[in-house]
Structure formats: structure tokens, C-alpha cells
A and B are shown apart, each in its own frame.
Chain A
Amino acid sequence: KNEVEQSPQNLTAQEGEFITINCSYSVGISALHWLQQHPGGGIVSLFMLSSGKKKHGRLIATINIQEKHSSLHITASHPRDSAVYICAALNEKLTFGTGTRLTIIP
């Protein structure tokens, strides 16, 4: 069993839909990262959080430390949100989930 599990692996939605990507981890962590990777490989750090909730534009990330679970939400999704979203648990080093490939159809 991977230390960091993401679901779903693939997600296709219509433009405007509310998107939720889930991440569960089995190790103790000091923080959890959400990353976005576009085709071509470039990775952008979206959030780093250790408790509660963070919001940036249409993106919201939440974490429940007791349940070892985090979610990434995208409101009013847009085709430009199409990318792979990766969560990564930080405990001395980053351990990555396998990623969620999100496709938003116009």
C-alpha cells in the first residue's frame, strides 16, 4: 500500500463543474503539498498546508490531520484547469501520490 493515495486517478468534467480530488496518507506529516503539473512537465506548487483550509482564487485545499486526509477543490472549473494534480506528504522528505489527471471539457 502506498503511503500517499489519491483518488480518483482520472477525472473528466464539464466546464463549470465543482471538482474534488482526495488524498489520504498513512504517515505522520508536518505538511501536505498540492502540486499541479501541465503537459510538458512543469510543476507548480498550489498549496502547502498543515491544518485547516487555504484558498487561492477558485482553488481550495483542506486538510484533516486526525483523519489523515486532504482534499483539493476547484470551483467553476475551466478547460485551463486541465492538468495532473499531485498531493505530496512532507515528513523530512516529500512522498508523492500517483496523481489525478483532470480534464475539463468546454
Chain B
Amino acid sequence: DQQVKQNSPSLSVQEGRISILNCDYTNSMFDYFLWYKKYPAEGPTFLISISSIKDKNEDGRFTVFLNKSAKHLSLHIVPSQPGDSAVYFCAASANFNKFYFGSGTKLNVKP
């Protein structure tokens, strides 16, 4: 059973607009969340993280929001750039080692 779900397999956004990628989880014990970005033929690379003691974390154009009551997190990219086109994975963990990943959302940013 998937404990972390990304229900949108793909998302298309115009350059300069906001991209919002969503992720839901089922395990209330999860207290640490990550977003990874993956280009074709490469391994995932870390993008941004958030712990359950926060509800928001920003890093440049990337912001992650956490809604613990809804067991939902989202990644906002503003403004979106063509180089952001990639597959984005969210991941969650209760012990900082065993991470459960979503199935990924493929983002396409159109010039």
C-alpha cells in the first residue's frame, strides 16, 4: 500500500507562472518530508525539506507547505522556468532513514 501518494502524474505550466505539486500521506507518524527532482537518466537530487514542527519552508523560488491535519504537502515553484521541467518526488519518513516516496509528478514548463 502506498503511504505517500502523488495523484497527478503530470503537470504543464507556462514559464513565469506558479507550479504547484501536491502530495498526500497516510501515516501520521511521518515527521520529516522531502522533495526530490529527477532529470532523465539521472538519479534524484534533493530539492527542499520540511519537518513536522514547521508548516512552511522556503528556498529561493521553491516553497514547501505542510498541512499536518490534512496529511498534505505541496511544493510551489515561483516563477517556473523551463529548466524546472523534471519529475518531482515527495518523500516522507518517521525515522529519517526509511523514506517512502510518491510515484512522482512530471512537470513540463513551457517557454
Is the pairing of A and B real?
no
